[in-house]
């Protein structure tokens, strides 16, 4: 793998490495001593890596296609992340070009999907998710025009996804995942 300085920089929207590192290395409230540079390398969709007992699979999204057209393919990238342990599977959407960007990450059931709602209508996400097994859906990064409509978004999501617990992220929210909420594969 090439060092980050030798490759084009990758943009990861809304899932900073520092957050991923802190979350990954403090499971169940315990602190683990981990080299702070453990996640400091250029990601690509072919590279699955492990950190703090987690298997992390980045997948490129189409969010930055307009920049690709202007500056060239590969110069700017955005990723979703599948984070796995034996007792849970979580997907962080990152910024998406469309909900279909999550297709590979949602091939198997996930306990939690943390998804943005800034770049497409909520109904588009809910229609796409209808054919996937998602235990909990945590909506975040709402578009400015959606602010103040959280209750109607929740109603629409719960109607479209009756088997999924749907929440909207807010400061201090805690979401349980793991064996107690583990999904079984169909």
Q: What is the domain count for the chain?
A: 1
151 part of a folded domain? yes
89 part of a folded domain? yes
Q: Which structural domain range is residue 115 located in?
A: 4-181
Q: What is the pLDDT of residues 46-55, one digit of tens each?
A: 788 888 889 9
Whole-structure pTM value? 0.75
Beta bridge partners of 88: 85
Contacts of 50 (CB under 8 A, 6+ apart): 56
186 part of a folded domain? no
Closest listed residue to residue 90, CA positions, set 113, 115, 68: 113
116 part of a folded domain? yes
8 part of a folded domain? yes
Supply the pLDDT for residue 171.
87
- Residue 19 sits in a domain whose CATH number is 3.60.15.10
Q: What is the pLDDT of residues 56-102, one digit of tens each?
A: 999 989 888 866 777 776 667 888 999 999 999 999 999 999 999 99
């Amino acid at each position: 793998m090439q060092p980050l300085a030798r490759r084009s920089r990758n943009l990861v929207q809304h899932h900073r490495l520092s957050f991923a590192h802190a979350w990954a290395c403090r499971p169940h409230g315990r602190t683990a001593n981990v080299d702070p540079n453990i996640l400091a390398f250029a990601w690509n969709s072919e590279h699955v890596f492990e950190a703090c007992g987690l298997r992390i699979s980045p997948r490129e999204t189409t969010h930055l296609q307009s920049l690709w057209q202007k500056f060239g393919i590969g110069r700017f990238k955005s990723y979703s992340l599948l984070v796995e342990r034996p007792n849970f599977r979580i997907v962080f959407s990152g910024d998406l070009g469309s909900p279909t960007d999550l297709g590979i990450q949602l091939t198997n059931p996930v306990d939690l999907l943390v998804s943005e709602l800034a770049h497409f209508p909520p109904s588009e996400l809910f229609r796409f998710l209808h054919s996937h097994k998602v235990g909990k859906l945590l909506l975040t990064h709402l578009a400015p025009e959606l602010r103040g409509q959280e209750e109607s978004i929740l109603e629409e999501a719960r109607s479209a996804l009756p088997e999924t617990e749907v929440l909207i992220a807010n400061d201090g929210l805690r979401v349980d995942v793991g064996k107690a909420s583990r999904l079984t594969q169909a």
